């Protein structure tokens, strides 16, 4: 979509609220329009709030993309934290490769396209028509 832009996000430890924080929304908009003044001509279409699962081992963020040890048909893909959008494409590719090893004729199977869940608070803007 060329008429949409997603802004974000925020990062609050130990906040489990699924409700938008209007102050955070205003702050994201303020920072974004300071860098890109043309965003002022857009209207807010959606504000989404979610969670960024993070996994730390020895103080380092560690992503897990692997089969479950007990149930091989379960593939874990988590621990991305704030790097989720950056790592999502590569990790998704790894998940597909793992899943294809479970499907006998995997060459003919196309993965279903689904909207990826956005983590953190994001704002979806659309240009005024």
Using one digit for the tens of pLDDT, what is the confidence trace for 5-32?
888 877 777 778 888 889 989 999 999 9
Domain total of the chain = 1
Report pTM: 0.51
Determine the Cα–Cα distance for residues 9 and 27; give it in Å rounded to an integer: 10
Q: Which residues contact 39 (CB under 8 A, 6 or more apart)?
A: 5, 7, 29, 32, 33, 125
pLDDT of residue 127: 52
Residues of the chain above pLDDT 70, percent: 74
The boundaries of the domain holding residue 15 are 4-127
| SS3 at position 95 | helix
């Amino acid at each position: 979509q060329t008429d949409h832009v997603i802004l974000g996000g925020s990062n609050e430890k130990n906040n489990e609220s699924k409700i938008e924080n209007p102050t955070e929304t205003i702050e994201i908009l303020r920072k974004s329009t300071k860098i890109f003044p043309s965003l002022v001509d857009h209207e807010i279409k959606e504000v989404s709030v979610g969670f960024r699962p993070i996994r730390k081992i020895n103080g380092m963020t560690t992503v897990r993309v692997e089969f479950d040890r007990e149930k091989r048909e379960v593939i874990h893909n988590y621990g991305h934290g704030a790097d989720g959008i950056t790592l999502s494409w590569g990790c998704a590719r790894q998940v597909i490769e793992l899943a294809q090893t479970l499907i006998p004729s995997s060459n003919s199977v196309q993965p279903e396209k689904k909207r990826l869940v956005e983590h953190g608070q994001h704002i979806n803007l659309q240009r005024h028509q």
